Amino acid sequence: MIYPSNFETKIGFDDIRQLLKQRCLSRLGKEAVDGVGFSGDCAQVNLWLRQVGELRLLTEKEEGFPLTFFFDMREAVSRLRLEGTHMEEQELFDLRRSLDTICGILAVFNRGEGNDEGGMTYDYPSLHDMAEGVMAFPNIVRRIDQIIDKFGKVKDTASPALAEIRHNLAKTEGSISRTLYNILRTAQSEGLVDKDVTPTLRDGRLVIPVAPTLKRRIKGIVHDESATGKTVFVEPAEVVEANNRVRELEAEERREVIRILTELSAEIRPYVPQLLDSYAFLGSVDLVRAKVELAKTTGGIEPKVEGHPLIDWIRAVHPLLQMSLAKHDKKVVPLDITLTPEKRILLISGPNAGGKSVCLKTVGLLQYMLQCGLSIPVDERSKTGVFDNVMIDIGDEQSIEDDLSTYSSHLFNMKNMMKQANGRTLLLIDEFGGGTEPQIGGAIAEAVLKQFCQRKTYGVITTHYQNLKHFADDHEGVVNGAMLYDRHEMRALFQLAIGRPGSSFAIEIARKTGIPEEVIRDASEIVGSEYIQSDKYLQDIVRDKRYWEGKRQTIHQHEKQLEQKIARMETEIADIEKQRKDILRRAKQQAEELLGESNRKIENAIREIRESQAEKEETKRIREELNQFRQEVDDIDTKANDEMIQRKMEKIKRRQEKKKNKKAQSPSNLPRGEGSLADEGAAAEGVSLSRKGNSVIDIKIDELTVGSTVRIKGLSSVGRIEQIDGKMATVIFGDMRTKMRVDRLEGATPQPSGAGNSGTGANKHADLAGQQSSRMTRDTIDSHKVNFRQDIDVRGMRGDEAVNAVLHYIDDAILMGASRVRILHGTGTGALRQLIRQYLATVPNVTSYRDEHVQFGGAGITVVEL
């Protein structure tokens, strides 16, 4: 129950309703706003709020949601119930566009995907429930598109008859136009009509403007004259019949259009009830959208509503006051309001103009908005509930007609409130007990308040009576609240402090408003200094309590922050411990793998030693080293830190590398076998051979010197070093001598001479290999000659890549005997050109280098003389 009948006006909900209507897109939505009402059903209220929340999310997330063409077509659709009626072209055009909007909205609301239980999970479940049973009409949309064009007119192709009529009409109008222009030109040549005159329309007929004195010079019918009387409009006799024919064709066109529209309306007629339901749905969508827009304006949210009476609001603001102050760049002071089963009635006291009535209206308006399904401007941490009855007594209800004074109207409201008061009623009473003699008025107010307490009613009550403040301290379920006032700056703070009574600050406010000091002094003497002092003491206590309350909240915040830091540190410690264990596990795994590999290597060494008939002491020594290594790995304790593990692993690896090198250099590890002339020749050239059986498995070049047998890296041609000059060497390949860098050469197995060993098969094989090698060298050189070019392009390469390419190219040019080559490096910043020339300056075979002629590339090409 809502009491009294003008409740919405008293709390300001009428203004909220107007704000909603301003945000509607159509008359459908505005009518839906008029239907918004209070509900005590918790499930219904939560459904309304979920719809607002889901549509808010939808409009923010999806840009293509249809929010246009919210036309109210209910009257035109309802008219189709009568047989023989039809919708006009514009009505059908609006029907088509609004139905298209409905189809688009339904497509979004019904969007979802299948779940594991065989049902559907919808993206917006509350909006889907809202659209349940609503039909879309794509067939009607397509049928209208066949008849109506994009401008809302009947198409020529709507019927063959209409196409023929319009063709004849256009033809006749064209004939009239040509005839009129001929007549007009003749009249202009005779001076009857001005040169700038053109045919015009009067009553749907083409006519010629003529001066009144000359109207009889043109045969025809005068249809009209101008407002000044200086021009008459004559229809020439030659086009009268044609104009009559146009009128007939237009009438035929209209009859054919009506016939087409009537047929189309007959096809739509069976769906009239469903169409009306769809437009009611469109109005509901418009209403929810208006709620979303209002919520964005006021900063409202959609809290979850509990099924029992509860108000636990944090930072609640009055939306109308907020919007009013925002126009002046001011902000409203938020309120923290709590009504729970333990503290059901809040008794607010404080100075006049301190915000008591605003606080009361804020509670009434926000609770009413909430139970009407509107978002309310409170903090997200707030908790809300529902009430079955909301009743208010505010303002002056005196009435001469009803013989009601101010106080009697208050008593009448108290009587009705006591009748309806129960555990699910919210009472809002302003200036409780006022309007009569204070002592008896306070007594009656206290007695009524006692009745409310016995019925466990919820309420917000404002008062100045001291006895009511004491009542709140002595009775369970009632709590005092004070609107704060800064006594030093003499201004209201508009802050609500629950738990203590407030002072009226009558003396201070009187002094601030300019009441003479003499009057204030007399009033203080009348009430007594003890009363004044007690009021000041109470204010000091309130001030001190507020100070220590702030300190307590600060300490509480610091404790919460400390708890959060401790929890975060504990989490980080747990993560670090987990990471440490993972590191230890991986380190031990690596150690085990290293141990296994070491076991295999050592066992292989022991096997080879045994095969080589080594001493038992050697075998014993290696096994002792193996056991020592195994012990070191086992000594890696899981509690050791990461740095110790890393040091130990590196130490073990270094020991293994040292043993490997020692084993490779030990002569006892070489297999015993017979030598050969090739081995002796290799030793003479500084080449050491390691054999396994009769196969050479490793070749090591100690140092390249004069006389060493070498080959170019990557080629098989074998030659001999004739001379070494720093980093350059002169090498003889067969009958050809060339210079190249030493680092391009590598040692090669010397080719055995066939002079003294021609009788043996091995020497014959060596001769054959030498001939084959010489032939391969010649073939390689011939191949390089065929593929060699006089220039190289290094543009786009990095510096090191370009220098390396030029290095190999110059070597090939020298080998081919080229006298001049070109290097294309481009201009750019000049860095690449400088690097290449720095290298060319180090090549002995390069006699000079210079820029190419400007006609052939200039500084972008370097010409090299060899």
Note the pLDDT tens digit of each residue in 552-577. 889 989 999 999 999 999 999 999 99
SS3 at position 44: helix
Q: State residue 760's pLDDT score.
A: 42
Over residues 761-776, the pLDDT tens digits come to: 444 444 444 455 555 6
Whether 671 and 609 have beta carbons less than 8 Å apart is answered as: no
Contacts of 230 (CB under 8 A, 6+ apart): 211, 212
Categorize the per-residue pLDDT at 656 as very low, low, confident or very high, splitting at 50, 70 and 90: low
Phi, psi of 505 (to 5 degrees): 50, 40
> Which residues partner with 737 through β-bridges?
732
Model pTM? 0.59
CA distance 470 to 456: 19
Tokens 């080959």 found at: 711
Contacts of 31 (CB under 8 A, 6+ apart): 283
CA distance 683 to 690: 11
Q: State residue 644's pLDDT score.
A: 60
> Which residues partner with 459 through β-bridges?
345, 427
Q: State residue 759's pLDDT score.
A: 41
pLDDT above 50: residue 294: yes
Long-range contacts formed by 125-131: CB under 8 A, 24+ apart: 125/50, 125/54, 126/47, 126/50, 126/51, 126/54, 127/51, 127/54, 127/55, 127/58, 129/47, 130/51, 130/281, 130/284, 130/285, 130/288, 131/105, 131/106, 131/281
Q: What is the mean pLDDT of residues 302-311?
A: 95
Whether 159 and 293 have beta carbons less than 8 Å apart is answered as: no
CA distance 859 to 379: 74
Helices (H), 66-159: 74-79, 89-109, 125-131, 138-147
pLDDT above 60: residue 637: no
Over residues 316-351, the pLDDT tens digits come to: 999 999 999 999 999 999 999 999 999 999 999 888
Mean pLDDT of the chain: 81
CA distance 450 to 439: 17
Going across the sheet that includes 425-429, the strands are 2-3, 389-393, 425-429, 458-462, 343-349, 477-486, 491-498
Categorize the per-residue pLDDT at 434 as very low, low, confident or very high, splitting at 50, 70 and 90: confident
Burial 609-646 (b: 16+ CB within 10 A, else e): beeeebeeeeeeebeeebeebeeebeebeeeeeeeebe
* Residue 216 DSSP class: G
Q: What is the mean pLDDT of residues 143-159?
A: 93
Q: What is the mean pLDDT of residues 530-537?
A: 65
* Secondary structure element (H or E) that encloses residue 787, with its range: helix 761-787
> Which residues partner with 2 through β-bridges?
390
The radius of gyration of the chain from alpha carbons, rounded to an integer in Å, stands at: 53
More confident residue, 263 or 828: 263
Q: Considering only 45-54, 473-482, 681-690, which range has the smallest mean pLDDT? A: 681-690
CA distance 202 to 611: 128
pLDDT above 90: residue 439: no
SS3 at position 492: strand
CA distance 35 to 516: 55
pLDDT above 80: residue 640: no
Q: State residue 758's pLDDT score.
A: 40
In terms of Cβ atoms closer than 10 Å to its own Cβ (0-12, 13-18, 19+), residue 659 is middle
Q: State residue 220's pLDDT score.
A: 77
> Which residues partner with 711 through β-bridges?
718, 746
pLDDT above 60: residue 237: yes
Whether 221 and 206 have beta carbons less than 8 Å apart is answered as: no
Q: State residue 620's pLDDT score.
A: 65
pLDDT above 50: residue 677: no
Categorize the per-residue pLDDT at 532 as very low, low, confident or very high, splitting at 50, 70 and 90: low
Categorize the per-residue pLDDT at 253 as very low, low, confident or very high, splitting at 50, 70 and 90: very high
pLDDT above 80: residue 462: yes
CA distance 280 to 822: 86
CA distance 16 to 374: 10
Q: State residue 264's pLDDT score.
A: 94
Categorize the per-residue pLDDT at 518 as very low, low, confident or very high, splitting at 50, 70 and 90: confident
Instruction: Tell me how far CA of residue 320 lies from CA of 3, 70, 377, 461, in angstroms.
Output: 21, 28, 11, 21
Q: Considering only 265-279, 371-385, 409-423, which range has the smallest mean pLDDT? A: 409-423
Whether 87 and 121 have beta carbons less than 8 Å apart is answered as: no
Tokens 């074998």 found at: 718
Q: What is the mean pLDDT of residues 405-412?
A: 77
Q: Considering only 52-66, 91-105, 138-152, 661-675, which range has the smallest mean pLDDT? A: 661-675
Long-range contacts formed by 582-588: CB under 8 A, 24+ apart: 583/642, 583/645, 584/638, 584/640, 584/642, 584/645, 587/636, 587/642, 587/645, 587/646, 587/649, 588/636, 588/638
Q: State residue 9's pLDDT score.
A: 92
More confident residue, 272 or 181: 272
SS3 at position 810: helix
How many other CB atoms are found less than 10 A from the CB of residue 513? 7
Q: Which of 271, 56, 52 is nearest to 144 (CA)?
A: 271
CA distance 492 to 486: 6
Q: Which of 767, 747, 741 is nearest to 707 (CA)?
A: 747
Q: Considering only 139-148, 620-629, 820-829, which range has the smallest mean pLDDT? A: 620-629
Q: Which of 209, 208, 203, 206 is nearest to 177 (CA)?
A: 206
Q: Quick one: what percent of the chain has pLDDT higher than 90?
A: 38
| Omega within 30 of 0 (cis) for the link into 4 | yes
Ramachandran quadrant class, 528 (left: phi over 0; alpha: psi -120 to 50; beta: rest): left
CA distance 852 to 834: 15
Whether 145 and 155 have beta carbons less than 8 Å apart is answered as: no
Whether 279 and 73 have beta carbons less than 8 Å apart is answered as: yes
Q: CA torsion sign, 238 to 239 to 242 to 243?
A: negative
Q: State residue 781's pLDDT score.
A: 66
Categorize the per-residue pLDDT at 608 as very low, low, confident or very high, splitting at 50, 70 and 90: low
More confident residue, 864 or 547: 864
- Top mean pLDDT of 33-47, 352-366, 547-561, 686-700 is at 33-47
pLDDT above 80: residue 276: yes
Q: State residue 340's pLDDT score.
A: 93
Q: State residue 752's pLDDT score.
A: 55
Categorize the per-residue pLDDT at 77 as very low, low, confident or very high, splitting at 50, 70 and 90: very high
In terms of Cβ atoms closer than 10 Å to its own Cβ (0-12, 13-18, 19+), residue 540 is exposed
* Residue 725 DSSP class: E
Q: Which of 386, 342, 334, 390 is nearest to 362 (CA)?
A: 334
Categorize the per-residue pLDDT at 782 as very low, low, confident or very high, splitting at 50, 70 and 90: low
Q: Quick one: what percent of the chain has pLDDT higher than 70?
A: 80
Tokens linked to 492: 């209201």
Whether 822 and 793 have beta carbons less than 8 Å apart is answered as: no
Q: Which of 467, 414, 412 is nearest to 439 (CA)?
A: 467
Q: What is the DSSP string of 660-704?
A: HHHHHH-GGGSPP----HHHHHHHHTTEEEEEETTEEEEEEE---
How many other CB atoms are found less than 10 A from the CB of residue 746? 15
Q: State residue 765's pLDDT score.
A: 44
Whether 131 and 106 have beta carbons less than 8 Å apart is answered as: yes
